[in-house]
Amino acid sequence: MKKNWIIIAVFLLLAVLHQDLWNWNNPALVWGFIPIGLFYHACYSIVAAGFWAFVVKFAWPTKLEEWAEGNDEL
């Protein structure tokens, strides 16, 4: 149960971090070719994948599969 709350908290934190107001008017280029506002969100996609990898590893609904096969209670 505690694990679920951690996942919800990280999800909400990621939703907040999506609103990168500090990059809004920043024209800087990372590595001389990618605007920082775009670079941040590309990194965000990688972090989102990492977050979901964590969720899949630690909060996978194993019982659901057994239930789907009609073998167990949900």
Q: Which pairs from 31-37 meet CB under 8 Å and 24+ separation?
A: none
Q: How far apart are CB 61 and another protein at their closest, in Å? A: 6
Q: Which residues bind another protein (CB under 8 A)?
A: 11, 14-15, 18-21, 23-27, 29, 32-35, 37-38, 41-42, 44-46, 48-49, 51-53, 55-56, 60-61, 64-65, 67-70, 74
CA dist 30 and 14 (Å) reads 22
Q: How far apart are CB 3 and another protein at their closest, in Å? A: 14
For 73, list phi and psi in degrees, rounded to 5. -85, 155
